[in-house]
Structure 1
C-alpha cells in the first residue's frame, strides 16, 4: 500500500524537477517577490510529503517545521482527506452560491457553530484568510450602514499584526516592511502598539505594560470617538509578527472596552484556529473571549483545499433582521463561497481533529515549548516564546540591548539554510525563526527538530563570527 501511494505521488510531479525550476523562472510570479527578481525566480522545489515530513527536489527528507504555512495540521498524505476530496468531486464538484446551496456547507456551518464561543452561530465561507478578514470588515461596514451609522467605519489594528493580502485586510498589517512599497486604506485604519512583552521598555513590568496597552486603546477610543470606530481586529497570538503571545488578561480587557463602545471585536484565528493551540477555536477555550466575529482558514482543511470563513454573532444578524431597511443588500460574495469540495474536506478534517489530534496537541504542547526553550542557552538567542504548537526563536546581537541584528537582516535565512541541509524546514522572519509543525508530531520528532535547530543556530553563530559581524 505504501509503495503504491509513493508511485502515485511521484506520477503527479510533471514535468521533471529541472524543468519545473526553469519554467518557474520564465513564467511563474512568486508571492512576496522583490522587484529585482520578480517573474524570474525559482524557490525550493518540494516534491511530496508524508506525515510531518516533506521531500525536496534532491530527495532530502525534511521535517516540515512551518506545517506548510501554519496549516498542515493533521499532516501530509492523509488518505481520508484525499478520498473525501475525490468522492465529493464525483458527486458534486461545484454549485453557484448565488441561488443554490450544497449540503456539506450547511453541515460544516453547524459544526463550526457548535465549537465557537458565545453566540457565534452563522458562518460565511470564503476562499482563505485574507478574504475572511475582508468579509468581516465589509460586514462591519454594511452593519453600520443599515443601522444608520455610516460614520462608524474606522478599524483598529496593532503593530506586528498580519491579517492578509487583499487591499483592506493588508491595510491592517502592522509589519513595516509589508507596507513600504504598497498602498493601503490608511484613512480607515488606526494602528496601536504591538502587545509584545519582549519588546516592552526595559524598566517596565509586565503588569505595567498591560496597563499601557489597555490605556492606549481606551485613550484612542476617547480621542477619535467611539461613534467613528467600527471594529478592532486582533490575532489571539500574533503569528507572522513573531508568535507574539499577549500578556494575561490583555485581550479580555480590550474586549470589554469594545463592548462598552459598540466596537465590533473581530478575533482573527486564521492561524490559531483548528488545533494550533489545542482547540477548534482559541478565543474562548484559551483566552476566555466571546468575540463578535471570528475569522478562520488554513487549518480548517489542513491546507488540503482553499477554504476560510467568518463566524458572525447571532445578535448582529438579529439586529439587521429587525432594522428598518429589510431590502438593504449585503453586496458581497465569492465564486467559491461555500465550495462543496472544500466544505466536505473540512468536515472530515474536523473529524480527525476531534477524534484525537486536538487531544494529542494539548498533551504534547508543553513538551514542545519546554524543549525549544532550551535554545535560550545559545548566546545568539534572545528569547524563545510560544503557545500550543507554535513558537518563535528570536535572535539578537546581545540580550542587554535586544538589538535585532541590524548588521545582518538575513539571520533567519542563514539558520534556515543550515537547517535545510540538516533535515529541517524553518520559517525565517528576518531575525526570527518560526516553528509550527503538524499537530501529529511526536516527542521523538520534537527532539529531532530541536537538535537540528540548535545545530543550525550554532553554525550561524560561527558564520557571523568569521565574517566579523557578530562577536557573541
Structure 2
C-alpha cells in the first residue's frame, strides 16, 4: 500500500502545488478525459477563491469567468455558508432518507415551492443536475406505468442540449462529440433541431425560424404519435451548447403542444435557476411557461455543497394518488437525497440571494450584455449572445458562411490560455468562450473581464495569422 501524504496548500506554495499536480497525474481520473491521457493528466490547479476571484496553483489571481461551472452564484469564500455547513454537520451530519427525514429539507422544500410557477409544489432532492434530470425521467416512466400507459415513454430533446452524465440524462444530450464513444439509450430519444437563431438558414428570419422549430415539433408528435411520447426535456437557455437563447415565444408554443398532447414538459433549470437570469426560476418569469417538472442544481447551494432536485406538479401527484395502483412504488432514491447539510447550505444561500444578490444581478445584467457585445468588432468573433449573466462569444473563420475554425477545440483553448495568463478564467467550448460570472460581479469588474477577453482573443488572432491558418 502506498504511503498516504498530507499536502499543505494553505500558503499557496509552488512546491505543494507541484506535488498535487504529480499526484493527480499518478492517481486522479479527470472528467471528460481522452483515452490517450486518461488517468495520467493534471489540469489547472485552483488553490483558493474569494468573491469573483480564484487563485491558481502559481498564486495568480483570476476572475472566475464561469463561476466554477455556472454555480458559484454568491461568490467564493462566503463565511455565512461555511458556518452553516459546520453548524449543521455538528447538529446532524446525515440521516437515511429511506425511513427518516430532517428539518432543513422540509423547510427548503417549502421555500423552493413558493418560487416555483403554477402548481409545482413538491420537491425531490438529489445530489446534482444529472441525478435531478434522471429522477425526472424515471418519474415520467413511473407515472405512465401507474396510469396504464407503458408505451408512452419516448423523450423529445434537441440538438445542442446538455442534460447530464448519467445514462438516461446523457441520452438526451445533443452536443457534438459528447456521444461519439459512449453508449446511450437512442431508442428512447427523438432529437429535434437546436433552437439556435445564429445557425438558421441565411434567408430565414428569426420569426420564420421559430415557426420552423414549432412545425418540426408538431410534425414529430404527429409522426411518432402522442400516445408514445412521455416528455419533452429542454433548457430555457441551452447553456453548455453555447448559451443558445431561443427565439421569442418559441418555448410558449412548444409548451402548448405538449399540453394539448399530454406530453410532460420538463424544464431543465440546472443552470438558469437561482439568479442566473435575474429570477429564482426563469421558466415563467423570463419565458412565460409553466412546466410540469423543473429540475435544478448548481446555484441552489452556489456550489458549496452537492445538491439538486426536481419540482413536480401537484396535478401529477394527484393523478398518481387517484390511480388504481396505490401500492405502486416510485423505486428511486439516492443515499444523499435530502442531505441535511446540503439543504441547510441551500437555505442560507437563498437568504443571500433574497437579501440583495438577486436585485444586483438584475441591475448589472444589461451592462454585462452590453459590454460583452463590444467584442463583436473583432474579426474572429461571429456573434456575441446571451441573457442575464450568461454570455457566449462564438468565433468563426468567416462571418458570411459562419464556418467554425478548422482548429476546432484549439480556438477556445488558445483564448482561455491567453486569458489565464492575463487574469481571467474562461470556459472554452470548441470554438466558443462562455462567461457566467458570480452574480455579485460589479460594473468595474465586468470592464476588467471584457478587457482581458478582448486581449485574449486579439492574441489568438495574432497566433492564427502567424501560423497561416487564418487570414482575418
**Interval containing the TM-score (normalised by the shorter chain):** over 0.9
Determine whether 1:133 maps to 2:126.
no
Distance 1:228 1:295 in 2: 23
- Please list the CA deviations of residues 288-339 of structure 1 after superposition, one character each: whole Å capped at 9, or x if unmatched: 1100000000000000000000000000000100100000010000000000
Determine whether 1:415 maps to 2:407.
no
Distance 1:197 1:93 in 2: 47
Determine whether 1:124 maps to 2:104.
no
- Shift in Å, 1:409: 3.4
Per the alignment, residue 22 of structure 1 pairs with: 22
Distance 1:10 1:122 in 2: 42
Aligned length: 465
| Structure 1 residues 315 and 13: CA distance shift in structure 2, 3 A | farther
Query: Which TM-score applies when normalising by structure 1?
Result: 0.97
- Shift in Å, 1:11: 6.9
Residues 13, 47 of structure 1: 8 Å contact kept: no
Distance 1:65 1:462 in 2: 23
Please give the secondary structure, in 2, of the residue aligned with 1:333. coil
Distance 2:231 2:207 in 1: 25
| Structure 1 residues 12 and 407: CA distance shift in structure 2, 3 A | closer
Structure 2 counterparts to residues 144-163 of structure 1, below 5 A: 144-163=144-163
List gaps (5 residues or longer) in structure 1. Answer: 1-7
List gaps (5 residues or longer) in structure 2. Answer: 1-7
Q: Choose 14-23 or 457-466, whichever is displaced more.
A: 14-23
- Shift in Å, 1:388: 0.3
Please give the secondary structure, in 1, of the residue aligned with 2:183. coil
Distance 1:227 1:120 in 2: 24
Distance 2:50 2:60 in 1: 13
Runs of 4 or more above 3 Å deviation? 11-15
Per the alignment, residue 311 of structure 2 pairs with: 311
- Shift in Å, 1:284: 1.0
Query: Which TM-score applies when normalising by structure 2?
Result: 0.97
Per the alignment, residue 369 of structure 1 pairs with: 369
Distance 1:406 1:293 in 2: 40
- Shift in Å, 1:466: 0.3
Distance 1:18 1:426 in 2: 23
Distance 1:100 1:437 in 2: 38
Please give the secondary structure, in 2, of the residue aligned with 1:207. helix
Residues 9, 48 of structure 1: 8 Å contact kept: no
Per the alignment, residue 254 of structure 2 pairs with: 254
- Shift in Å, 1:19: 1.2
Residues 408, 469 of structure 1: 8 Å contact kept: no
| Structure 1 residues 109 and 9: CA distance shift in structure 2, 3 A | farther
- Shift in Å, 1:17: 1.1
Structure 2 counterparts to residues 168-207 of structure 1, below 5 A: 168-207=168-207
| Structure 1 residues 117 and 14: CA distance shift in structure 2, 3 A | farther
Distance 2:233 2:26 in 1: 39
Determine whether 1:70 maps to 2:63.
no
- Please list the CA deviations of residues 375-431 of structure 1 after superposition, one character each: whole Å capped at 9, or x if unmatched: 000000000000000000000001000001124431000000000000000000010
Distance 1:13 1:165 in 2: 35
Residues 297, 309 of structure 1: 8 Å contact kept: yes
